[in-house]
């Protein structure tokens, strides 16, 4: 029998015979299958896989930090609470601040006192420089002093120039120091004080027809230069809050009559010389009149204050701190208005 036929016979015999495995062998196979894990563990990654993982993790961390810092900076940017939105959007032509004059102080004040003595028969005491700044080739200097006889405070304005070794001082104007605003049309200078307006006022905003200025407060005074008359002057806190607004000035006809204190009234009485105003106000319990004026002649009053346009007397005219607000010929109507307003 050749080898091929023998091989064929063996194959056929193996296919017909079913051999049973011993029990011990089957038991070991079953146990091995039960011990196998449910999932196949990952194969260990090579060097490049681990390196790429670290690189990607680092990049992600950097991106996160950048985003977090950007968000922190945006969300925590401090808000400038002191800026007035209206003011921050405006452009001012100039801001005026006090500067110390480059002159010998004692010599300068002595010249100023001498000039005041020549202009007015008054005794000057405690003269002090309260505001100054240079304008081209000169200095504008604002001073306050006490008039000894009347014990009233007065504001005087001077122009100072240096010529070689000498100091030339020129007197410009003088006004009573009241909580008001003055504009000198001859020298284009506006100035004022804030004595009792509000201690929180830090600057003044001046608006003319075509310009806007800021003057910072120094020693409770302010000053600026403008070729145009002011149309509105606003007193501001450091936060930009408007404390008071002036819209009537010394070049306006009503200015001497308006209330000197905001929230009160000024009173003009024409053609009734039988009434003592202070006693009249006290008698009726009226406490909201800060100042008053009396004129006996109706003609003189109409000539002096053309806006009155009154045909008969007596006439009682009431002003707030900006303008005329009430006019009557009846004293009882005046009392009613002042008490109810």
Q: Which residue has the higher pLDDT, 294 or 56?
A: 294
What residue spans define the domains of the chain? 94-246, 255-340
Per CATH, the architecture of 255-340 is what? 3-Layer(aba) Sandwich (3.40)
Report the pLDDT value the prediction gives residue 96, as an integer from 0 to 100: 97
Predicted confidence (pLDDT) at residue 25 exceeds the cutoff of 60:
no
Higher-confidence residue of 77 and 337: namely 337
Task: State the pLDDT confidence band at 77, using cuts at 50, 70 and 90.
Answer: very low
CA 83 → CA 69, 72, 194, 246, distances in Å? Answer: 27, 23, 22, 22
- Give the model confidence (pLDDT) of 148-163 as tens digits: 665 677 889 999 998 7
What is the structure's pLDDT at 66? 60
Instruction: Output the pLDDT for position 169.
Output: 93
On average, the pLDDT of the chain sits at: 80
Name which residue leads in pLDDT, 300 or 11: 300
Helix (H) and strand (E) counts for the chain? 8, 16
CA dihedral 79, 80, 82, 83 (to 10 degrees): -120
Of these ranges, 63-72, 117-126, 313-322, the one predicted with the greatest mean pLDDT is: 313-322
Q: What percent of the chain clears pLDDT 90, i.e. is strictly above it?
A: 37
Predicted pLDDT of residue 177: 63
The pLDDT value recorded for residue 172 is 92
Q: What is the pLDDT of residues 176-225, one digit of tens each?
A: 766 678 899 999 999 998 865 567 899 999 999 999 999 999 998 999 99
Q: What local confidence, expressed as pLDDT, does residue 27 receive?
A: 58
Give the residue ranges of DSSP H helices in the chain. 3-16, 23-35, 47-75, 85-88, 105-119, 277-283, 298-304, 331-340
Residue (of 215, 230, 79, 243) closest to 140 by Cα position: 215
Collect all residues with Cβ–Cβ distance below 8 Å to 256 and sequence separation of at least 6: 293
Distance CA(266)–CA(285), nearest Å, equals: 16
pLDDT in tens, 97-111: 999 999 989 999 999
Cα 94 to Cα 214: distance, rounded to the nearest angstrom: 7
pLDDT score of 38 more than 50: yes
Which pLDDT score, from 0 to 100, does residue 81 have?
Answer: 37
Residue 143 DSSP SS3: strand
How far is Cα 35 from Cα 31, in angstroms, rounded to an integer? Answer: 6
Contact (CB, 8 A) for 232 and 239: no
Contact status, residue 315 vs residue 289, Cβ threshold 8 Å:
no
* Mean local confidence (pLDDT), 3-32: 56
Q: CB-based contacts of 328: which residues, under 8 Å, 6+ apart?
A: 315, 316, 334, 337
CA neighbor of 226 nearest in space, from 252, 250, 208, 249: 208
Q: In the structure, what pLDDT confidence band is assigned to residue 13 with cuts at 50, 70 and 90?
A: low
Please write the tens of the pLDDT for every residue from 249-295. 888 888 889 998 888 999 999 987 677 888 999 999 999 999 998 98
Q: Hunting for tokens 């403008």 — which residue is that? A: 226
Angle at 134 between CA 128 and CA 135, to 5 degrees: 130
pLDDT for position 8 = 64
Is residue 248 over pLDDT 80?
yes
């Amino acid at each position: 029998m050749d080898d091929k036929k023998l091989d064929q016979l063996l194959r056929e015999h193996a296919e017909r015979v079913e051999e049973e495995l011993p029990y011990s062998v089957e038991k070991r196979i079953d146990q091995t299958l039960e011990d196998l894990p449910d999932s196949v563990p990952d194969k260990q990654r090579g060097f490049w896989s681990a390196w790429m993982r670290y690189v990607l993790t680092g990049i992600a961390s950097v991106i996160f930090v950048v985003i977090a810092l950007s968000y922190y900076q945006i969300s925590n940017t401090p808000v400038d609470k002191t800026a007035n939105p209206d003011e921050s959007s405006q452009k001012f032509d100039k801001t005026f601040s006090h500067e110390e004059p480059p002159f010998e102080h004692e010599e300068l004040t002595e010249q100023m006192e001498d000039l005041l003595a020549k202009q007015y028969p008054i005794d000057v005491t405690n003269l002090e420089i309260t505001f100054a700044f240079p304008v081209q080739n000169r200095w504008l200097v604002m001073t306050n002093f006490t008039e000894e006889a009347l014990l009233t405070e007065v504001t005087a304005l001077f122009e100072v120039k240096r010529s070689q070794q000498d100091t030339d001082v020129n007197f410009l104007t003088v006004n009573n120091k009241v909580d008001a605003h003055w504009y000198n049309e001859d020298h284009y200078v506006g100035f004022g004080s804030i004595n009792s307006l509000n201690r929180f006022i830090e600057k003044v905003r001046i608006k003319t027809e075509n310009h806007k200025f800021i003057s910072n407060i120094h020693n409770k005074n302010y000053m600026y230069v403008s070729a145009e008359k002011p149309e509105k002057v606003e007193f501001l806190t450091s936060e930009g809050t408007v404390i008071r607004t002036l819209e009537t000035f010394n070049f306006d006809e009503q200015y001497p009559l308006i209330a000197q204190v905001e929230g009160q009234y000024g009173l003009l009485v024409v053609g009734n010389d039988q009434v003592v105003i202070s006693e009249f106000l006290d008698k009726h319990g009226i406490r909201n009149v800060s100042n008053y004026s009396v004129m006996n002649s109706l003609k003189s009053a109409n000539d002096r204050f053309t806006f009155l346009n009154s045909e008969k007397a007596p006439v009682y005219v009431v002003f707030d701190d900006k303008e005329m607000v009430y006019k009557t010929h009846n004293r009882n109507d005046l009392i009613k208005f002042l008490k109810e307003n």
